[in-house]
C-alpha cells in the first residue's frame, strides 16, 4: 500500500511516499528556516504563507521521486494536530483536495505519533510495545507505545519543551535560530579542545518536578541567562562553548535519567523482566525521537547508560526532525486500525495523544 503524506505543522513543508509503512520511496522537505531566522523564531503567518507557496511543488517532487503518478497512491495521510493552526490548515486542506481528486482514503495523523513512527522506517524489526521519549521544539513526552495506535503519556514537560530550551539558551549565547544544533557543535568543540574548561566548568541545576517523570526546563534556561549576566557584571569572559557543553550535558542527564526511571517503573508494572515485550531479544525496548534526538550528546549518553540493558532505537539524523515519511508510516498503521477521516476533518493546534 502506497501512502502519500503531508506535514506542515511548523516550519517544514514536507511530502513523502512510503510503502506499507516501512519503505521510503521519496521524502521531500522544504525548510523555511532561512525565512524565520531573521526574526529569531517561527513567525506563524510567514509559515502559513510559505506552506501555501511550496506545497504543490513539494508534492510533485515527492511523486516524481517515488516514480508514481497521483493515481498510483492508495491513500493520503496528513498531520492534523498539534502545531501552528494556520500551518496545519494548509496541509489538511491540500490533503483533502488530493484525496477527493483521486477518491482515496484520507488519514489524519497526530504529529507526535508520527515522530514515534520515524523509528519504524529505520528499524524493520521494531514493533510495539515499547517506551518512547519524543523530544522536539514543541514537545517533551515519555510515552508507552502500547500498540501502533494506542499511546499512554507517562511524563511530560510542565513548562518549556527540550528543543525550546535548547533554542532559548542558544539565543542567549548569541547563536542563530534554531539553536539546538549550534549548542551541539559548541559542546563538541568544548569537549574536544585541550583546555581545563569543559561541561563541568559551569554548574547548572537539576530541576525538580512533583511527578518524577515530568520535565521542567525553564529554570535551566534562566540559569544560563543568569550565568551570562553575572559573568558580564564581574567583567569576566564567558566561555560560550563550555556553557553550551554544561547546558547540553544537564539536559541530556535529565532526559536520560527520567527515561530510564520510566523504563524501570513500566517494567515493574508489567511484572518485571520485560517479559511482556517481544522482539529483538527479550530486553525492554526504548526509542528516542524528535528534533532533539539529533543531539550527539543525548544519543551518546542514552546508548552508554542504557545500551547494555535495553534495546535502544534512535532514528538516523535525517528522520529526527519534521518530515512526512514518518507521517506516512504512522498513517499506514492508522489506516489498518480503521482511523480515516471525512471531508469535515479539521486541524487542532493542541491535541493530547
Binding site for ligand KG4 (CB under 6 A): 10, 136-138, 163, 166-167, 178-181, 184, 290-292, 294-295, 321-322
CB of residue 72 vs ligand KG4: minimum separation in angstroms?
29
Closer by beta carbon to ligand KG4, 73 or else 288: 288
Work out what residue 292 binds among Zn ion, ligand KG4, none; the CB cut-off runs from 5 to 8 Å by kind: ligand KG4
When asked if residue 7 is in the footprint of Zn ion (CB under 5 A), the reply is: no
CB of residue 176 vs Zn ion: minimum separation in angstroms?
20
CB of residue 290 vs ligand KG4: minimum separation in angstroms?
5
When asked if residue 136 is in the footprint of Zn ion (CB under 5 A), the reply is: yes
Is residue 289 within 8 Å of 116, Cβ to Cβ? yes
Work out what residue 167 binds among Zn ion, ligand KG4, none; the CB cut-off runs from 5 to 8 Å by kind: ligand KG4
The CA-atom distances, in angstroms, between 222 and each of 162, 205, 216, 218 are: 14, 10, 12, 6
**Helix and strand counts by DSSP (H, E) for the chain:** 10, 10
When asked if residue 334 is in the footprint of Zn ion (CB under 5 A), the reply is: no
Closer by beta carbon to ligand KG4, 32 or else 136: 136
Closer by beta carbon to ligand KG4, 294 or else 324: 294
CB of residue 103 vs ligand KG4: minimum separation in angstroms?
32
Closer by beta carbon to ligand KG4, 129 or else 155: 155
Is residue 169 within 8 Å of 224, Cβ to Cβ? yes
CB of residue 274 vs ligand KG4: minimum separation in angstroms?
28
Is residue 78 within 8 Å of 120, Cβ to Cβ? no
Work out what residue 329 binds among ligand KG4, Zn ion, none; the CB cut-off runs from 5 to 8 Å by kind: none
Write down the H helix ranges in 178-288: 180-192, 218-233, 240-269
Distance, CA of 213 to CA of 200 (rounded, Å): 25
Strands (E) located in 8-139: 12-19, 23-31, 75-81, 106-110, 130-135
Peptide bond into 82 cis (omega under 30): yes
3-class secondary-structure state, position 158? coil
Closer by beta carbon to ligand KG4, 36 or else 104: 36
Please report, to the nearest 10 degrees, the dihedral formed by the alpha carbons of residues 41, 43, 47, 49 taken in order. -150
Closer by beta carbon to Zn ion, 101 or else 351: 351
Tell me which H or E stretch contains 313.
strand 311-313
When asked if residue 79 is in the footprint of Zn ion (CB under 5 A), the reply is: no
| Residues in 309-328 at the binding interface with Zn ion, rule: CB under 5 A | 322
Q: Which residues bind Zn ion (CB under 5 A)?
A: 136, 322
Amino acid at each position: 500500500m502506497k501512502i502519500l503524506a503531508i506535514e506542515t505543522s511548523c516550519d517544514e513543508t514536507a511530502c513523502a511516499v512510503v510503502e506499507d509503512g516501512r519503505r521510503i520511496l521519496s521524502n521531500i522537505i522544504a525548510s523555511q528556516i532561512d525565512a524565520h531566522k531573521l526574526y529569531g523564531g517561527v513567525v506563524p503567518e510567514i509559515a502559513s504563507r510559505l506552506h501555501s507557496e511550496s506545497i504543490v511543488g513539494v508534492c510533485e517532487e515527492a511523486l516524481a521521486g517515488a516514480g508514481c503518478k497521483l493515481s498510483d497512491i492508495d491513500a493520503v495521510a496528513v498531520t492534523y494536530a498539534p502545531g501552528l493552526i494556520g500551518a496545519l490548515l494548509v496541509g489538511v486542506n491540500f490533503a483533502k483536495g488530493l484525496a477527493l481528486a483521486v477518491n482515496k482514503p484520507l488519514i489524519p495523523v497526530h504529529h507526535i505519533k508520527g515522530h514515534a513512527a520515524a523509528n519504524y522506517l529505520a528499524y524493520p524489526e521494531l514493533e510495539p510495545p515499547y517506551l518512547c521519549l519524543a523530544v522536539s521544539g514543541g514537545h517533551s513526552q515519555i510515552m508507552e507505545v502500547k500498540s501502533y495506535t494506542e499511546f499512554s503519556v507517562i511524563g511530560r514537560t510542565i513548562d518549556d519543551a527540550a528543543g525550546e530550551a535548547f533554542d532559548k539558551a542558544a539565543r542567549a549565547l548569541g547563536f542563530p535560530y534554531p539553536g539546538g544544533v549550534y549548542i551541539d557543535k559548541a559542546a563538541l568543540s568544548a569537549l574536544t579542545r585541550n583546555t581545563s574548561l569543559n561541561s563541568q566548568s559551569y554548574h547548572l541545576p537539576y530541576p525538580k518536578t512533583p511527578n518524577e517523570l515530568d520535565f521542567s526546563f525553564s529554570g535551566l534556561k534562566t540559569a544560563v541567562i543568569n550565568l551570562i549576566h553575572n559573568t558580564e557584571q564581574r567583567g569576566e569572559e564567558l566561555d560560550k562553548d563550555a556553557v553550551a557543553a554544561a547546558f547540553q550535558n544537564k539536559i541530556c542527564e535529565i532526559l536520560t535519567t527520567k527515561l530510564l526511571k520510566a523504563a524501570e517503573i513500566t517494567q515493574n508494572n508489567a511484572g518485571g523482566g520485560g517479559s511482556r515485550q517481544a522482539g529483538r531479544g527479550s530486553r525492554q525496548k526504548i526509542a528516542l525521537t524528535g528534533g532533539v534526538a539529533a543531539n550527539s550528546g543525548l544519543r551518546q549518553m542514552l546508548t552508554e547508560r542504557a545500551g547494555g540493558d535495553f534495546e535502544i532505537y534512535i532514528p538516523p539524523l535525517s528522520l529526527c526532525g519534521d518530515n512526512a515519511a514518518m507521517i506516512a508510516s504512522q498513517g499506514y498503521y492508522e489506516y489498518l486500525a480503521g482511523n480515516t477521516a471525512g471531508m469535515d476533518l479539521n486541524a487542532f493546534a493542541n491535541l493530547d495523544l
